[in-house]
Amino acid sequence: MPELPEVQTIVSMIGPLVRNRRILGVSHLRTDMVKPADMDWGLALTGSRILSVTRRAKRIIFRLDPYSGFYIHLGMTGQLRVVSVSERLMPHTHLILNLDAPFQLRFIDPRRFGKIIWMDTIDDTKLGPEPLTLTTEQLIQILRNTSRAIKPLLLDQNRIAGIGNIYADEILHRARIHPQTPACALTQLQVRTLNQAMKRVLHQAIRQGGSTIRDYVDAEGKTGGFQRLHRVYQRFGLPCFRCGTPVQKIILISRSTYFCPTCQPE
């Protein structure tokens, strides 16, 4: 469900609401969605104060006092919602934090690909740099010395962290780069264009509150708006907005991949 813009939207919304709030109680915790599963989460969370809510890649990080904290990965269908205590329980609710406030923080996830992970167990070293602050020099370094196709590279969280299937396609279309172009075959100018497209698309998507294809909603349950600005994603057979050529669809690393064969030549 959520890539960098959707996660950023959620973090920006819930941050001011839950910061400095105390966790009064924990309920509906599904132990097969937390890591470590054998930890006493109720004991660890109850009485703690939330110091901050931040984003790193697609992770929502909760810093706590007195313990280090935890992070939530939303997987494909995860939602983090701030709702009043009286709000009726949605199906697939896997964690409720009762706060020192007239509302609760709830984690809902039908497919259960999401995860709630205690901080002691994180290994941040493997995550690549944030795309919004990536310099062209850094990007050149990342793409150098590999003949791997550019789209799989953009999806590789160990190289660049936060981009998923929607934004990889949207970025490549705006940069006019074919998704199967070997990374090392890109010219310096193309890498520069790619970096600009990456920042433009992600910033614009954040401004629109993310993309809602099916499941994504923000912390108040509202859908995003960036799907209206998608130029290729899920537009198979429809005319390219730039040149009119029908948008093509292929499968790359088992993911649907949309591109314009005219604007993004091999």
Which listed residue (9, 104, 195, 212) binds DNA by CB under 7 A?
A: 212
User: CA 141 to CA 78: how far, in whole Å?
Assistant: 33
119 forms part of the interface with DNA (CB under 7 A): no
Sorted by sequence, the CB contacts under 8 Å of residue 189 that are 6+ apart come out as none
Question: Which of the stretches 12-20, 37-45, 79-87, 160-168 binds DNA when contact is defined by CB under 7 A?
Answer: 160-168
Pairing of strands 34-35, 115-118: parallel
Q: Tell me the closest approach of the beta carbon of residue 254 to DNA, in angstroms.
A: 5
Query: Residues in contact with DNA, total (CB under 7 A)?
Result: 39
Q: Which of 129, 249, 255, 261 is catalytic?
A: 255
Which listed residue (63, 148, 178, 192) binds DNA by CB under 7 A?
A: 148
Which residues partner with 26 through β-bridges?
97
Element (H, E) at 35: strand 34-35
Which listed residue (46, 52, 54, 157) binds DNA by CB under 7 A?
A: 157
What are 165's two structure tokens? 């299937």
Alpha helices, DSSP H, located in 20-119: 41-45
**Among residues 1 and 260, whose Cβ is nearest to DNA?**
1
Which listed residue (30, 222, 255, 262) binds DNA by CB under 7 A?
A: 255
Q: Which of 55, 58, 59, 174 is catalytic?
A: 58
Torsion of CA 123, 211, 216, 54, to 10 degrees: 40
73 forms part of the interface with DNA (CB under 7 A): yes
Stretch 40-59 residues interacting with DNA (CB under 7 A): 57-58
Q: What angle do CA 67, 17, 26 make, to 5 degrees?
A: 50
Half-sphere exposure of 83 (CA within 13 A, CB side): 18
Signed CA dihedral, 160, 161, 165, 168: sign only: negative
Stretch 216-245 residues interacting with DNA (CB under 7 A): 216, 234
Residues with catalytic function = 2-3, 58, 255
- Name the site residues for DNA (rule: CB under 7 A): 1-3, 6, 57-58, 73, 75-77, 91-92, 110-113, 146, 148-149, 152, 155, 157, 164-166, 210-216, 234, 251-256
